[in-house]
Amino acid sequence: MSKLKIFGIGILIFIVLTGLGFATGEIQAIYNRTVGVDVSSSETDKFHASKGYVDGMIQDLSKYKLELAQTTDSTARHAIISHINEEFSNFDENKIKNQDLKQFLIDVRNDNIK
């Protein structure tokens, strides 16, 4: 056999194996385990920095503040405060332009509101 035929057979085997990898989803699975994780993480970071996300979080915080102000039951108040701490645990309070709302979040995080 000539070197050209061996090279051609090698290329053909490579193409077939690559095609099978795409057909069975193995190539996509490998991509997701390696490069895909970084892509997903950066997309999540971009989303969390977006105006829509920040505005939505601020709106939710405002609703929780109003709900907390209207609630007198200590168990319900504790549940609202716990929920705020959980939902806003990674939220940067410096993104909140309203100083009253910003201070509310800081007070909740520092356990100054009961």
pTM over 0.75: no
In a domain, 71, yes or no: yes
- Determine, yes or no, domain membership for 60: yes
Average pLDDT of 2-30? 77
Identify the domain containing residue 105 by its residue range.
Answer: 51-114
Structure tokens at 84: 């705020």
Q: For residue 99, is it within any domain?
A: yes
Residue 1 located in a structural domain? no
Name which of 20-29, 33-42, 54-63, 83-92 the model is least confident about. Answer: 33-42
Residue 66 has pLDDT above 90, yes or no: yes
Mean of pLDDT values over 18-24: 72
Count of the separate structural domains present in the chain: 1
Residue 73 lies in a domain: yes
Q: Confidence band (pLDDT; 50, 70, 90) for 38?
A: low
In terms of phi and psi (left: phi > 0; alpha: psi -120 to 50; beta: otherwise), the region of 103 is alpha
24-33, 44-53, 90-99 — most confident range: 90-99
Q: Is residue 94 part of a domain?
A: yes
Which pLDDT band holds residue 70 (cuts at 50, 70, 90)?
Answer: very high
65 in a structural domain:
yes
Evaluate whether residue 22 is within a structural domain.
no
Say if residue 48 is exposed, middle or buried (CB neighbours under 10 Å; 0-12, 13-18, 19+).
middle
